[in-house]
Structure 1
């Protein structure tokens, strides 16, 4: 078990090894998440509408 000073030095060393995404990568992946969320919402809205129409046809 390392003492607190060694631990902080090791943490600092490990943080230095991290490769952070560029601003462009962050913006691109954020846009992709929003597009996929919109497509998913449209898909489930369509499925919901089809099920509602089917149940309405069976019941009504």
Structure 2
């Protein structure tokens, strides 16, 4: 591994940062909204699964208890 001096390192860092493509405000808003929508759908899905499992378990326990 080659050792570079701090000045060269900073130049390389600036060159790499210049290559970064930053998202637009619209892209950030769309992805944020999509994350919230998918999180809500996931929460609803697991709530339904939880209700079904609880109901099934209560049915089995009432049958044997």
TM-score, normalising length: structure 2: 0.91
CA RMSD of aligned residues (A): 0.4
The structure with the largest alpha-carbon Rg is 2
Q: Aligned pairs, how many?
A: 60
Q: For 1:9-20, what aligned pairs fall within 5 Å after superposition? A: 9-20=11-22
Which aligned segments of 4 or more residues in structure 1 are displaced greater than 6 angstroms?
none
Task: Give the match for residue 59 of structure 1.
Answer: 61
Task: Give the match for residue 31 of structure 1.
Answer: 33
C-alpha distance in 1 between matches for 2:4 and 2:27:
37
Which 5+ residue runs of structure 1 have no aligned equivalent? none
